[in-house]
């Protein structure tokens, strides 16, 4: 039975999305326009994202720090492209109590300025390098149109800021961190992102180049989900971050930054959720298994406890729903909250030594012998669910992946069903602008794949850049 | 040998403090006045504080959320005492890009307003209660005088905000969370805090009462380190947080908040550190053991690796310092960074099957047989260090604990050596004000201990409140 509070995904995707966010208690609007309250179910997903990514960052030698929230205006102004890129979205602190401040402070929209200012003072020699710093924090961008997780004025993220003694090492870091994001999306979120390089127009303000993870949502709209920027020596020149190299010469340092945000939660929803609510990929689910007793039989309770203990002892996060709601209500709640596996234990079934497992992703019921090795069975089932969710996401993505060889193709696709559109591009920003005129379609990334043509999809001139295009969130 | 970069604690305590913060790379000043950069060594301590406290909060049924950073002015204005208490320290966002906003937003200095606004919309019935929410976040208070960790314009903290269906339950929560903070200080930070109730004058703006943990620093100055506030129905009335109770009647909810901040790091330093640098209590030390090879003998390296593996396998965080610094430099670095146990392994000692362990707290060298069961030995040693640090902190506290029976006593103590001053108080705020005239001495808390007199230390009238007084940070 469909959840009444949730609009059908195929009827109104935008409404369906906010319905799922609300019904699964992930977030809600607040009295601050464009800012959300991330509720316990939503924040628990973010905590899981943090713990998995943070562990990986640390394995690769990164350490966490915390830099100031406020940025003095003059510090921001030192890097022109950055301030130009972010200026319209910056909010400014101008008063304290009832007094005007001498200088305005921006609330950070990104922290390149602050990190470079710190590094300037703390780096002298190649022996001080590399610095592999990351911070988990909130940032603020005054967006006009906002939607929970997808585009919020305030959002949470991690921002890595690393400085290196050589171009080679900094480049390696830029690619390595993109690999981490890619790994995370594929192996943890079951989202088959495509990785590539942004065009000059779409790269981060002030970067030499930007690598990006692009996800395709169920409705064919694209979502940028994790970026890694290489700055060369540019920012370090603007902020005077110098070091004495091994040859005893002064040199500007090489800089990279990379970030991933609470937007990942939007991607999870828009790739995996359905008309019944949230569907959580098992490796990111804060609760992986819910055990629901039917009736209050002693044997039922015993088995609930036994399963629960065994699962938790073996690193599967499980809990018993012992609330005084009806079993039917509990099933529906587990479903809308996207818990990967539900175990139903009832007295009648137990008489025949049977229990029922229900997969959230397919809603399939599996009746098993109550004496099975529950740990290994559930472990396998969670892996199967991850695998199947990933395959279905690939199938959906492939179904919504198109090729365009000229502007008519482009228009036809975009007017029928958007998706990932492969098309060759000559590299001229004017062609990029012309394509954008069709429903705001933008280049997503340049990929390292065989060309599908030798002419630019727009101007018809010689083209060697294989680009994915699409409509974005 | 004393660390040259560190002023002696007995010569200039304030300078000693900032020297330790810098020398141990815990934090540094930034271009934003009054705001610090928390560096990797400092942030790692905060991460450890977070992980231990967060686990405890969750065991007690709390869940984490994230509310907006910005608070609309009209929302703040709904609770008069709160706005009056915080107004001079609030910073205001008034502009976005180059446009003026219609309404000012305060950066949160505390989030009672935002949580109550959320609860108003999400609580209808007693079935929705209790809500046991907590958030880890940054807050901003425009302090005039600032010092790293101790008093920073921006700081990190956790703020618990809970709503309950009964006074009894809310009171229980208020005391329970104070117990958690007390447990944390005693059992994890080895700080013998004293717990009590704030006077009316010193309680949180708008609370019915405030419980507090008060620490005594090495120099006899007091530090408030963790508070738990009971609001009764007051805030819920101001913000219209109502619920239908079991008797089907509408009623205002009962509210508590409690918080602990990065200030805990200041307490660790000012209770435990010495002229050689930081001294970390073993249970909060991000790295508990450093193993330093002397020379590059194969047997040495083998034993380093063996110890390191065994320790880490048994939940003791250890690492080998394999950098190309000299052993002497490594010893000094481990010392200034406060790592509880240092293991020195050298070829010459190994010939006699000996290795050296050094306790950071006492700087005592312990020579042991290289074949000892290193895990159980180090485990015991870490417990001993915790215990000894705690006892020394109690001894220091007791040495700086005084009794005053009249204003002359009070003056004598405060002019000689400040500390925790026990004195009886009649309850009249005027007496409190008069005591404050002596070097700014404030009531720290009212404690549940036997009276030491029957007259007020100030006015000489009948008094039954046993109060601890002191000079505060």
| DSSP 8-state secondary structure symbol assigned to residue A352 | T
**CB contacts < 8 A (A, B):** 153
* Tokens found for residue A100: 């005007």
Q: What SS3 state is found at B138? A: strand
A427 pLDDT band, cuts 50/70/90, is very high
In order, the DSSP letters of A145-207 are S-BTTTB-SEEEEEEEEEEESSHHHHHHHHHHHHHHHHHIIIIIS----EEEE--TTTS-TT-
Q: What is the pLDDT of residues B192-242, one digit of tens each?
A: 999 999 999 999 988 999 999 999 999 999 999 999 999 999 999 999 999
* Tokens found for residue A255: 């800089």
C-alpha span between A257 and A238 (Å, rounded): 16
Q: Cβ contact (<8 Å) for B63 and A44?
A: yes
C-alpha span between B116 and B75 (Å, rounded): 10
Q: Cβ contact (<8 Å) for B69 and A154?
A: yes
Q: What is the pLDDT of residues A157-206, one digit of tens each?
A: 999 999 999 999 999 999 999 999 999 999 999 999 999 999 999 999 88
C-alpha span between A156 and A140 (Å, rounded): 9
CATH topology for A13-272? BirA Bifunctional Protein; domain 2 (3.30.930)
Q: Is the pLDDT of residue A2 over 70?
A: no
Residues of chain B with CATH 3.40.50.800: 289-384
| DSSP 8-state secondary structure symbol assigned to residue A187 | I
Residues of chain B with CATH 3.30.930.10: 13-271
Q: Cβ contact (<8 Å) for B92 and A96?
A: yes
Residue A94 has its nearest CB partner, among B31, B68, B94, at: B94
Which residues in chain A are closer than 8 Å to B40, comparing Cβ atoms?
Answer: 63-65, 133
Where are the alpha helices (H) located in A40-164, listed in sequence order?
A: 40-59, 73-76, 80-86, 112-122
The phi and psi torsions of B26 (rounded to 5 degrees) equal: -90, -40
For B69, the closest chain A residue by CA position comes to A154
Chosen CATH of B13-271 out of 3.30.413.10, 1.10.10.60, 3.40.50.150, 3.30.930.10: 3.30.930.10
> Which CATH architecture group holds B289-384?
3-Layer(aba) Sandwich (3.40)
Q: What is the torsional sign of CA A39, A40, A45, A51?
A: positive
| DSSP 8-state secondary structure symbol assigned to residue A356 | E
Q: How far is B154 from chain A (nearest CA, A)?
A: 7
Could you tell me which residues come within 8 angstroms of residue A412 by beta carbon, excluding any fewer than 6 positions away? none
Q: What is the pLDDT of residues B378-417, one digit of tens each?
A: 999 999 999 999 999 999 999 999 999 999 999 999 999 9
Residue B65 has its nearest CB partner, among A38, A105, A133, at: A38
Q: Cβ contact (<8 Å) for B70 and A154?
A: yes
Lowest-confidence region among B2-11, B224-233, B424-433: B2-11
Q: How far is B466 from chain A (nearest CA, A)?
A: 36
Check residue B50 and give left, alpha or beta (phi > 0: left; psi -120 to 50: alpha): alpha
CB atoms closer than 10 angstroms to residue B145: 7
- Minimal CA–CA distance to A316: which of A325, A307, A328, A326? A307
By the 8 A CB rule, do B192 and B272 touch? Answer: no
Mean pLDDT in chain B? 96
Across the range A348-371, mean pLDDT stands at 96
Which residues in chain A are closer than 8 Å to B37, comparing Cβ atoms?
Answer: 65-68, 114, 118
With the CA atoms of A391, A395, A396 and A397 taken in that order, what torsion angle do they form, in degrees rounded to the nearest 10?
Answer: 100
Q: Which pLDDT does position B22 carry in this prediction?
A: 97
By the 8 A CB rule, do B28 and A122 touch? Answer: yes
Q: Which pLDDT does position A1 carry in this prediction?
A: 56
Across the range A443-470, mean pLDDT stands at 97
C-alpha span between A208 and A226 (Å, rounded): 17
Q: Cβ contact (<8 Å) for B88 and A97?
A: yes
Residue B68 has its nearest CB partner, among A98, A122, A154, at: A154
Which residues in chain B are closer than 8 Å to A66, comparing Cβ atoms?
Answer: 37-38, 43, 46, 138, 156
A209 pLDDT band, cuts 50/70/90, is very high
Residue A93 has its nearest CB partner, among B38, B46, B91, at: B91
Which residues in chain A are closer than 8 Å to B137, comparing Cβ atoms?
Answer: 138
For A152, the closest chain B residue by CA position comes to B68
Q: How far is A183 from chain B (nearest CA, A)?
A: 25
With the CA atoms of A395, A401, A403 and A409 taken in that order, what torsion angle do they form, in degrees rounded to the nearest 10?
Answer: 130
Give the ipTM of the model, two decimals please: 0.96
The DSSP bridge partners found for residue B72 are: B105
Across the range B150-169, mean pLDDT stands at 97
Residue B65 has its nearest CB partner, among A40, A65, A137, at: A40
Q: Which pLDDT does position A98 carry in this prediction?
A: 86
CB atoms closer than 10 angstroms to residue A154: 25
Which residues in chain A are closer than 8 Å to B116, comparing Cβ atoms?
Answer: none
By the 8 A CB rule, do A140 and A91 touch? Answer: yes
Residues of chain A with CATH 3.40.50.800: 289-381
For B40, the closest chain A residue by CA position comes to A65
Terminal-to-terminal C-alpha distance of chain B? 30
Chosen CATH of A289-381 out of 3.40.50.800, 3.30.70.1560, 3.40.50.720, 2.115.10.20: 3.40.50.800
Residue B43 has its nearest CB partner, among A64, A75, A105, at: A64
Residue A37 has its nearest CB partner, among B65, B91, B138, at: B65
B86 pLDDT band, cuts 50/70/90, is confident
Q: Is the pLDDT of residue B1 over 60?
A: no
Q: What SS3 state is found at A140? A: strand
B78 pLDDT band, cuts 50/70/90, is confident
Across the range A462-470, mean pLDDT stands at 98
Q: Select from B68, B83, B135 the residue whose CB has the most chain A CBs within 10 Å, as the one to mutate to test that interface.
A: B68
> Which CATH architecture group holds B401-470?
2-Layer Sandwich (3.30)
Q: What is the pLDDT of residues A42-75, one digit of tens each?
A: 999 999 999 999 999 999 999 999 999 999 999 9
* Tokens found for residue B76: 């703040």
Q: Cβ contact (<8 Å) for A91 and B95?
A: yes
Q: Select from A93, A109, A115, A119 the residue whose CB has the most chain B CBs within 10 Å, as the one to mutate to test that interface.
A: A93
Which residues in chain A are closer than 8 Å to B133, comparing Cβ atoms?
Answer: 40
Diameter over CA atoms, chain B: 81
pTM for the model stands at: 0.97
For A70, the closest chain B residue by CA position comes to B32
By the 8 A CB rule, do A233 and A252 touch? Answer: yes
A81 pLDDT band, cuts 50/70/90, is confident
Q: What is the pLDDT of residues B22-66, one digit of tens each?
A: 999 999 999 999 999 999 999 999 999 999 999 999 999 999 999
Residues of chain A with CATH 3.30.110.30: 401-470
C-alpha span between A107 and A72 (Å, rounded): 9
Where are the alpha helices (H) located in B166-318, listed in sequence order?
A: 167-183, 234-238, 263-272, 298-313
- Work out the burial of residue A122: count CB atoms within 10 Å of its CB; fewer than 13 is exposed, 13-18 middle, 19 or more buried: middle
Q: What SS3 state is found at A371? A: coil
């Amino acid at each position: 039975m469909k959840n009444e509070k949730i609009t059908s995904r195929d009827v109104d995707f935008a409404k369906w999305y906010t319905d799922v966010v609300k019904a699964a208690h992930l977030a809600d609007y607040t009295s601050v326009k464009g800012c959300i309250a991330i509720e316990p179910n939503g924040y628990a997903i973010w905590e899981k994202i943090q713990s998995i990514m943070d562990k990986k960052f640390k394995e690769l030698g990164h350490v966490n720090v915390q830099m100031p929230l406020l940025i003095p205006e003059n510090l921001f102004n030192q890097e022109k492209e950055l301030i130009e890129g972010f200026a319209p979205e910056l909010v400014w602190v101008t008063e304290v109590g009832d007094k005007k401040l001498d200088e305005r402070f921006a609330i950070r929209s990104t922290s390149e300025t602050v990190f470079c200012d710190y590094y300037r003072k703390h780096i002298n020699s190649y022996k001080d390098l590399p610095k592999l710093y990351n911070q988990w924090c909130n940032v603020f961008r005054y967006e006009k149109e906002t939607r929970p997780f997808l585009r919020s004025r305030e959002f949470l993220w991690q921002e890595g800021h690393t400085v290196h003694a050589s171009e080679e090492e900094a480049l390696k870091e830029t690619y390595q961190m993109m690999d981490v994001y890619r790994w995370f999306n594929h192996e943890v979120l079951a989202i088959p992102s495509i990785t590539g390089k942004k065009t000059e127009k779409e790269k981060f303000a002030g970067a030499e180049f930007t690598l990006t993870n692009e996800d395709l949502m169920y409705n064919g709209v694209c979502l940028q989900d994790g970026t890694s920027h290489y700055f060369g020596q540019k920012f370090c020149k603007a902020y005077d971050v110098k070091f004495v190299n091994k040859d005893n010469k002064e040199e500007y340092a090489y800089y990279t930054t990379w970030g991933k945000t609470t937007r990942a939660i939007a991607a999870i929803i828009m790739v995996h959720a359905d008309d019944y609510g949230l569907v959580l990929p098992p490796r990111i689910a804060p609760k992986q298994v819910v055990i629901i007793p039917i009736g209050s039989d002693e044997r039922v309770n015993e088995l609930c406890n036994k399963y629960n203990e065994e699962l938790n002892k073996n690193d599967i996060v499980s809990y018993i729903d012992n609330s005084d709601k009806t079993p039917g209500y509990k099933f529906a709640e587990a479903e809308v909250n996207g818990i990967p596996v539900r175990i139903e234990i009832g007295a009648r079934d137990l008489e025949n030594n049977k229990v029922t497992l229900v997969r959230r992703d397919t809603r399939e019921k599996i009746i098993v012998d109550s004496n099975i090795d529950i740990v290994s069975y559930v472990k396998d089932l969670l892996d199967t669910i991850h695998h199947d969710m990933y395959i279905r996401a690939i199938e959906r993505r492939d179904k919504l992946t198109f090729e365009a060889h000229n502007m008519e193709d482009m228009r036809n696709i975009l007017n029928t069903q958007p998706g990932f559109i492969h098309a060759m591009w000559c590299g001229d920003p004017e062609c990029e602008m012309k394509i954008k005129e069709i429903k705001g379609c933008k280049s997503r990334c340049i990929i390292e794949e065989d060309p599908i043509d030798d002419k630019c999809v727009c101007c018809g001139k010689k083209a060697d850049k294989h680009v994915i295009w699409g409509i974005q969130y």
